[in-house]
Each structure stands twice: as structure tokens, then as C-alpha cells.
Amino acid sequence: MRDAVTSLIKNYDITGRYLDRDAMDDLKSYFRTGMVRLQAAGVINGNAAAIVKQSALRLYEEVPELIRPGGNSYTTRRYAACLRDLDYYLRYASYALVAADSDVLDERVLEGLRETYNSLEVPVGPTVLGIQIMKEIVREQVAAAGIPAGNLTDEPFDYMCRSLSERDI
């Protein structure tokens, strides 16, 4: 897993260049927002179970057919798998938030997801909706904690939604 600093340095190293003004500005931004990212991750970590539970409740309110007979969350086993997956997405979003880099999402979440969802016949639409709902809940909780995160907390969730939506799952 890389963070914004190692990714930046790697890119400059590959091209054999010294860090220029743009690189220095990127590094300054990374460090300037570091405490906010850590505080936001602390809110996520401290409230993860509640965030996942609220996300699932909102998802099933919006798409109730998921928990009806024949739905992808019908049966206790499938419902538990949905909660597990939401928790998985949330945990890795917190890692990407702290790292200020989405590489961990590609490496640990998004790679291989197509094959898994295809083999299990899991539709991507409700997954994307669940991730969007989680993003909203995280944003609300971070704001309620008085952390001026702006859109920082949105970035990993938006990245996952964009990546999943671009795939024909």
C-alpha cells in the first residue's frame, strides 16, 4: 500500500526528476490536511459498526426488494454478507483517507471484485448505493464531531463508486 508521499516520489523517481514546485505544493497539502484526515478516520473507526448498520437500514429502506424472497440480501447468510462487505468498504475507505491515496482501494477492494460479483450474481447498483449512503453518514458524523474535513472524506467513497460504476458487473 502506498500513500500520497510515496506515490509522488515514485512518479518523480521513474522520470528521473527532482521534486519541483508542484511536487512540493502537493506535499504541503498532504501534510496540511493530515490531522483532519486522521481525525476523520478516528470518527470512522469509533463508529464503524453504527455506520454500517445505518447504511444497511437506509439501503433496505430505499431498495426493499433486496431483503424480500429472491433478493440478494434475502436469508440471514446473504444479509450478513452484505453487512460484512459494507464494513469492508468502510475500513478500506478509512485507509485511503489516511493515506490520501486510492491505490489501496484498487489493490484490496476493486481488483477481482468483478469476478467475485459475477460468480455470485451480485448486482453492482445496490452496492454502489450502499457506498454512497455510507459516504453521507460518514460526512454527517465527521461534521457533527466538528472536524472541518470538507470533501476529504468523500474521496475514497466516490472513487469506489466511480470504479464500480465503470465496470460491467
CA distance linking residue 25 with residue 17, whole number of Å: 16
Q: pLDDT, tens digit, for every residue of 79-135?
A: 999 999 999 999 999 999 999 999 999 988 998 786 788 788 888 899 999 999 999
20 and 87, same domain (yes or no): no
Query: To 10 degrees, what angle do helices 34-62 and 124-144 make?
Result: 130
21 half-sphere exposure, CB direction, 13 A CA radius: 0
Query: Does 147 have pLDDT greater than 90?
Result: yes
Distances (CA, A) of 86 to 59, 111, 160: 11, 16, 12
Q: Say yes or no to pLDDT of 52 above 50.
A: yes
- For range 30-45, the mean pLDDT: 97
Same-domain check for residues 75 and 149: yes
Do 20 and 102 fall into the same domain? no
Q: How many CB atoms lie within 10 A of CB 166?
A: 8
Q: What is the CATH number of the domain that holds 127?
A: 1.10.490.20
pTM above the 0.85 mark? yes
Task: Give the total number of structural domains in the chain.
Answer: 2
- Examine the domain organization and report whether 24 and 75 are in the same domain: no
| Whether residue 118 sits in one domain with residue 97 | yes
Rounded Cα distance between 97 and 141, Å, is 15
Same domain, 77 and 159: yes
For 117, the domain range is 34-165
Model confidence band, residue 166 (pLDDT cutoffs 50, 70, 90): low
Q: 38 and 93 share a domain? A: yes
**Are 12 and 50 members of one domain?**
no
CA–CA separation, 159 vs 167, rounded Å?
Answer: 13
